[in-house]
Structure 1
Amino acid sequence: MGKHIRKAAVIGSGVMGSGIAAHLANIGIPVTLLDIVPNELTKEETAKKRTLDHPSVRNRLSQEAMKKLLKQKPAPLTSAKNLSYITPGNLTDHLSLLHDADWIIEVVTEKLSIKKHVFSLIDEHRKEGSIVSSNTSGISVEKMAEGRSDDFKRHFLGTHFFNPARYLKLLEIIPIQETDPEVLSFMKTFGEDVLGKGVVEAKDTPNFIANRIGTYGLLVTVREMLENKYTIGEVDSVTGPLIGRPKSATFRTLDVVGLDTFSHVARNVYEQVEGKEKEIFQLPEFIERMLEKGWIGSKAGQGFYQKNGKVILELDPVTLTYGERTKLKDPGIEMAKQQKGAKAKLKALIYQDGRAGQLLWNMTAPVLLYSAHLKGEIADDIQSIDNAMKWGFGWQHGPFELWDAIGVKKAAERMEAEGRSIPAWVQDMLSKGHETFYQENADGERAFYHNGAYEQEKGNDKHISLARLKKKHDVIFKNSGASLIDIGDDVALLEFHSKSNAIGLDVIDMINRAVDETEKNYKGLVIGNQGKNFCVGANLALILMEAQDDNFFEIDFVIRRFQQAMMKVKYSNRPVVAAPFGMTLGGGTEVCLPAAAIQASSETYMGLVEAGVGLIPGGGGNKELYLRHLQGSAKPSQTAIQDATLKTFETIAMAKVSTSAEDARDMNMLRVSDGISMNGDHLIYDAKQLVLSLDEAGYRAPLKQKVPVMGETGYAAMILAAENMRLSGYISEHDMTIVKKLAHVISGGKLPFGTEVEEQYLLELEREAFLSLVGEVKSQARMQHMLVKGKPLRN
């Protein structure tokens, strides 16, 4: 149909509207942000003798929203400079700008009358063929479109983002009867490929999919807590990661969301349903009292939890007083923790007779049945429902996947024995001998039960599943730390799968083998994986153990091998593309920097953070970051050498970590030519395409060149800056020890300014400094603290 979205407009500059505008800006789409004209002056505007006609007053709401984007945590913008893509305005003076927009998104107050008024304005000023959508969380999309033009209706739908728009993956798309199928198809593809979302088509029902089931599940859990006298802390201690839910579990989640927001969503369903379902969505009395008191959660300073100094207290729902936080004590919990994976843990616990098992059964069974009863009403199939809950609420597994995990037949029999109603379609499935909602073949491909038979799971070809490839026996070779996998089109992929993807000798050996195999038989190599994080660094526990045993020969051997492997990656005759995502720290960043190119997920947090554990980078990271700052100039100027030295020193000494892939580009950890994938599920595919394009362009390994260094002049400048920080109390004596070693490496040692040295010379300096610091008692204390506490020690 030739659709495209080059410009957008967002109407409504609240947290959600400005967040959507920021997400569009992060992608590089210019967006106009409009809001109403204020009807009174602020004290500041009065003091400046402004009038209601002044442009800064008339555009105040959208301009203030833009300022807040720079201060909000977590940050809505992937880089502060993206703010320039957003143009503020108002709904009186700037409606003509809507004519330039290819997509207009309404994000105003959740009142049908207000929304219909806004859409009448949009209909008058939009250009024919532009897409219009509402970000409503529950108002009927069909009713919003009543009275609008035919072209408006053909291009209208609901696009429900979850807050914060940058970070939460789910995008529910809700068409109306008149929505052009081509428009729906385009928006689904655009949502996934460009916006980077997990897109689910929902039906025009109260709160759509995720909020309908998620709110129901939260209220069922609250009622179970009250009826069987669990504490808030007890519930949260078993409804989080133990069963594959976020760390915030139940009540911490409600505090983060805000009781005001949650109550609005719950009441929206309450007003539109009947019978027993209506009873569930009626807020308990103690929550109503919390709302009256303004105890709405984190933004109010108290909700279900209250922070008192460093101590976190929990609410007693009966007395509405705060006391010591509690945890549910049940022998079954420890037994369940021994199981591998959230599904196995839940299965081990849910059928136990203890209080934990009783709680989990009584909160899980109703949600499974509710989801099954709503299939066909809120979404066409179970895959859409499962994906909505995983992408919108952060569940590891959707309700039907969980039902499979605990046994569909076994759970159904217990439900029936307890007098619960099993949907007819589930009974029909079981009567036909089908005892799972999903089936998986030998190649790892899934099918889901739909309309009496199993239907192939829907997916995007850009989502390459490494787990499925490995089941298809596409592993070339592997060891305990990594595997080399054929991902098709003569491209190989090196996957780390050690604990936390940490780099040890097993991973290093596989890097060497992977490059050798690629040079012989493949067009190029991707270094990537689909774990929780790309790589959080070297195997710190192993390094500490060897250091405490005074086995420095072994540490020296590992560092040499790591450096050699990184040089092999850099000078490979075939292109090597690193595909980082999530935490890409220390050695993880060192793996990326020498690659021919990087294809990073938008949410990539890169940093050479070794100073936090008393060390400096040991795998060539100092050298590679310095070369990035030199920008590959054949004859860099004196100023360029000085700037590169000081920037590299500052970044590593302060253990700076990027807040996004775009921020990593601003820090020179990514080059302008490196790619950024908005959709993390497409990262491996995008990296593979980058390999193929480099090969098609006739890739040649870079030539080895000498590196100009700042020498003694640079060392003195860096030490002077650090000494001032030490005297001001910003860094400790041991920080100063680390800084001196780092400055020696980056400056190139005791050499005249501008001396050109071999890369290997800098690697030797780096290795010697690393070994020296490993032997320091205070560095070992930092390593120990990081391993035990998970955070840096200041000593």
Structure 2
Amino acid sequence: MSDNNLIKKVAILGAGVMGAQIAAQCINVGLPVILFDLPGKPEGDKPLSKQAKSGIALKAIENLKKLKPAPLGLAEDANLIQAANYDDDLDLLAGCDLIIEAIAERLDWKHALYEKVSPHIPEHAIFATNTSGLAIDELSKGFSGDLKKRFCGVHFFNPPRYMHLLELIPASETSPLVLDALETFMTSTMGKGVVRAKDTPNFIGNRVGVFSILAVIEEAKRFGLSFDAVDAVTGSKLGRAKSATFRTSDVVGLDTMAHVIKTMEDSLQGDSFSALFRIPEVVSQLIAKGALGQKSKAGFYRKDGKTVMVLNPVTGEYQAATATIEPLIERILKKPIGERLDLLRSTDDPQAQFLWAIYRDIFHYCAVHLGSIAESAREIDFAMRWGYGWDKGPFEDWQAAGWTQVANWIKDDIEQGKGLSKEPLPSWVFHGPVAEKQAINTPEGSWSATESCFIPRSTLPVYQKQVFRPTLLGDGSPDPKTAGSTIYENLDLRAWVDDREPKVLIASFRSKMNTFTTDVLNGIQKAIELAEAHYDGLVIWQPTSLKLGTPGGPFSAGANLESALPMVMKGGPAGVEPFVKLFQDTMMRVKYAEVPVICAVSGIALGGGCELVMQSARRVAAMESYIGLVEVGVGLLPAGGGLKEAAIRAARGVSESGSGNYLDFIKAAFENAAMAKVSTSAQEAMKMGYLQKGDIIVPNVYELLALAQHQVRAMRYAGYRPPIPKLIPVGGRSVASTVMGQVVNLRGGGFISEHDAHIAEKIIRIISGGDVDAGTLVPEEWLLKLERQAFVELMSHPKSMERIMGLLQNGKPVRN
């Protein structure tokens, strides 16, 4: 049952917010899925049609196309979800291998549904309940016999497409084989970071996360900080989600948060922190007014036009959000964690004292409850990173700051009555292996308070697909920036081999945002030379794809404009031409290498990053890949072969269709570049032509490198040969003139600026092959020369320079 391929079809019971979005994620990863809900009720005496009876599910499916952030890689793929209802379609469950129940959090409703569907569940199928906090053992009582062994809890975090965390919770009778099969499936197929939780209220993520929010609210009240002041200091500067505390609560929904708090209040009355487990009065008041957060356009925050307003809890009125982090506190938060905590404790400033207090509270709570909620410290750290967007888990921070030193500080505060509970820290904090090692996460494993030992990582075979597993501070995992054996390196690029796949060379960039510099370009050429001589091929992969917190860092943000400016200052606009020529030559070297060059893409691949992706032999892309030619935003155009490749793909489309109509195939590529369109997913990148048929979309970014390595080996084994250069039939001046007519209309309507139109004209003339007749055959070098000339001309344009300087100085493109 541990074979990932045993789950080939899924049923979701419940077409609410979570059920529908879990169904969407199934479609994103290529899994057939049936979405069930209650049958619709007829109006009057006329019976409903079979389709109309599934109207609730159909409406939820239609709504998926409109939701933001988008739950689907491609909105139109919503139509791949099969709608069903409980009256007519339960026989469809016979063809499903996994059934996920996701109805409202009511034990009696869930049990009634289990009784209804039980006779239709096939003998091999796994049944999981998606719940954020109900007791799994109590829910399991809705089944009998063998079904109890195939029943467990799963907890997707919202929104399911983007949140990496999935909690897996067994009931007392759940078969270990079922848990292994589901962990394998959720990890590899659904792309999740699986944390096994104990069957305790709210499990791990929400138990610790909601405690953290309640502690923040309590400490903010104690130190007299406004909601926006709290968010100013508890966001990215603290290594937490950018939306910080109260903005995050608004996003989650205050009613949802209140439900989770109520679960804690009802079920954790013996908890030594239970005095905190009350729905805060301000939250109750907001809910009573219908201010539920982002979904109702008001919560802790609301927008008045472009002004962000924040609630004043004293007056009950909204006022402009103006609070900022104190400069002293900002400097302290840049210090290493040990020095940071010491300074926060000793600084007589409300923001400093508040920050020390919330660090102390979370450390205290996690230590006291480690044994009851998690197998080891590892699960708590990963749950907070993947479910709440923290860069480091609480135990990682504590360990990095100095274990015993911090423990003594917490002990002193508890004794002085400053903590949120009088319960002392557990004895294992001060005595035994953790204190001796000054570490709770170690190379041998993470500390288990129940087993009184360090528990090693899971050895399920699925994790062999991860060259670099998610790391914890102190666990001894290899650093992907230095792992393996370095074969060649310069300042901005490292070529290396992973010891498990020594025949595949890997190139990783070291530049800021993995931008292209002269060293990166020369390094790629050197890596290809080495790969051709000694290896099966080359993978271009960035360690930043495995960034802390939720994974998915940049593949490449394109050319490094800061390094290009000195070339312009020294030699005028033409001074940048040698760099552009080097870029083009490098991309052609990528395309025509004697061995396959594969891009392992995750996160943004913009401008030159997109051009590298387009010209590689194959692409292996994480689902969350955002790819596009965006140069127009800085007053330039793609000049690394991106427009050349657009012309080639248009010519291929014309040839395959047999229509001879270049306009049909050029128009979309032109709009992509001229409007700086960026894909919102790997699926959309494929639709836009940046990914190609045969490329692989990977749900779990941690599997990206291994799958790219395997692709190199498979292509080499199949006798890979580079493409043979061909002459390209182009659309010519007639196609360019037709498209420019549309651009003129856009300019006349005020939809684009004059400079946008100027750049657009250059883009369409390059894709169309320049001032030639339709069908003229041109070599790639002809198109590259057109790109290069247009790029240099734009570098001399004052409006382009305005855009470049605006981006470099303010981080935002200038619209001029």
Give the TM-score normalised by structure 1.
Answer: 0.94
Partner of 1:333: 329
**Cα pair 2:597 2:618 within 8 Å, conserved:** yes
1:206-245 counterparts in 2 under 5 A? 206-245=201-240
Task: State the Cα distance separating 1:147 from its structure 2 match.
Answer: 4.7
**SS of residue paired to 2:79:** helix
In structure 2, the CA distance between the partners of 1:71 and 1:498, relative to structure 1 (3 Å rule), is: same
SS in 2 for 1:390: helix
Q: Which secondary structure does the structure 2 equivalent of 1:760 belong to?
A: helix
Give 2:517's aligned residue: 504
For the residues of structure 2 that align with 1:310 and 1:568, how far apart are their CA atoms?
48
Write the distance in 1 (CA, Å) between the matches of 2:247 and 2:275. Answer: 24
Q: Which residue of 2 aligns with 1:552?
A: 573
SS, match of residue 593 in structure 1? helix
Cα distance per residue 1:545-599 (max 9 Å; x no partner): 5445553343111100000000000010011000111111111101111111000
CA separation in 2, counterparts of 1:368 and 1:246? Answer: 18
**Residue 793 of structure 1: CA displacement?**
2.3
Change over 3 Å in CA distance of 1:714–1:668 after alignment to 2 = same
Which residues of 2 match residues 582-593 of structure 1 at below 5 A?
582-593=603-614
Counterpart residue number, 1:606:
627
Residues 569 and 595 in structure 1, CA contact (< 8 A), matched pair in contact too? yes
Q: Distance in 2 between matches of 1:345 and 1:607?
A: 40
SS in 2 for 1:271: helix
The equivalent of 1:789 in structure 2 is 810
Instruction: Supply the AA of the counterpart residue of 2:485.
Output: D
In structure 2, the CA distance between the partners of 1:549 and 1:778, relative to structure 1 (3 Å rule), is farther
Secondary structure of the structure 2 residue equivalent to 1:751: coil
Whether the 8 Å CA contact 1:51–1:57 is kept in 2: the answer is no
Give the AA of the match of 1:277: F
Give the whole-Å Cα distance in 2 for the aligned partners of 1:663 and 1:642.
21
Instruction: Give, in whole Å, the separation in 2 of the partners of 1:503 and 1:185.
Output: 43
Write the mapping of 1:444-593 to structure 2, written as runs, cut at 5 A. 447-450=445-448, 451-458=451-458, 460-465=463-468, 468-472=479-483, 474-487=485-498, 488-531=501-544, 532-547=553-568, 551-593=572-614
- Give 1:362 deviation, angstroms: 0.7
CA distance in structure 2 between the aligned counterparts of 1:634 and 1:699, rounded to whole angstroms: 24
1:768 equivalent in structure 2: 789
AA of the residue aligned to 1:31: V
With 477-486 and 100-109 compared, the bigger mean Cα shift is at 477-486
Which range is displaced more, 560-569 or 733-742? 733-742
Q: Mark the CA change 1:633 to 1:518 in structure 2 (over 3 Å): closer, same or farther.
A: farther
Map 1:279-428 → 2, pairs under 5 A: 279-336=275-332, 338-339=334-335, 349=344, 352-418=347-413, 419=415, 421-428=424-431
* Corresponding residue to 1:682 among 678, 685, 703: 703
**Residue type at the aligned position of 1:464:** V
CA distance in structure 1 between the partners assigned to 2:56 and 2:653 by the alignment? 45
The residue matched to 2:615 in structure 1 has which SS?
A: coil
Distance in 2 (alpha carbons) for counterparts of 1:26 and 1:331: 44
Are the equivalent residues in 2 in contact too, given 1:34–1:91 (CA < 8 A)?
Answer: yes
Alpha-carbon displacement from aligned partner over 1:420-462 (angstroms, at most 9, x marks no partner): 621122222478522122236xxxxx74334455454447222
Q: Structure 2-normalised TM-score?
A: 0.92
- For 1:524, the aligned partner's letter is G
Using the alignment, how far apart are the partners of 1:406 and 1:322 within structure 2? 39
Stretch moving more, 73-82 or 62-71: 73-82
Aligned equivalents of 2:783, 2:484: Cα separation in 1: 41
Q: Give the residue type in structure 1 aligned to 2:305.
A: G
- Distance verdict in 2 for CA 1:240–1:625, change over 3 Å: same
1:34 maps to what in 2?
Answer: 36
Correspondence 1:261 to 2:256: yes
Q: Does residue 31 of structure 2 align to residue 20 of structure 1?
A: no
In structure 2, C-alpha distance between the alignment counterparts of 1:502 and 1:792, rounded to whole Å: 17
Structure 2: distance between partners of 1:346 and 1:667: 49
Give yes or no for the alignment of 1:186 onto 2:186.
no
Q: Output the CA distance in 2 between the equivalents of 1:764 and 1:360.
A: 57
> For 1:454 and 1:691, how far apart are their aligned partners in 2?
38
Q: Please state if 1:662 is matched with 2:657.
A: no
Structure 1 residues 516-539: Cα deviation after superposition (integer angstroms, max 9, x where no partner) = 111111111101112121111111
Contact 1:566 1:620 in 2 (8 A): yes
**In the alignment, which residue of structure 1 is the partner of 2:8?**
6
Q: Distance in 2 between matches of 1:328 and 1:733?
A: 39
Deviates more, 1:15-24 or 1:278-287: 278-287
Aligned match of 1:698: 719
Structure 1 stretch displaced more, 331-340 or 782-791: 331-340
Residue in structure 1 matching 2:89, options 88, 94, 104: 94
Partner of 1:720: 741
Corresponding position: 1:61 with 2:63: no
3-state DSSP of counterpart to 2:495: strand
Whether contact under 8 Å (2:377, 2:441) holds in the other structure is: no
Give the distance between the partners of 1:744 and 1:136, measured in 2 at CA.
56
Secondary structure of the residue aligned to 1:476 is: strand
% same residue = 37
Alpha-carbon distance, 1:648 to partner: 1.7
Residue 437 in structure 1 maps to residue 440 in structure 2: yes
Partner of 1:44: none
Is this contact kept in 1: 2:525–2:586, CA < 8 A?
Answer: yes
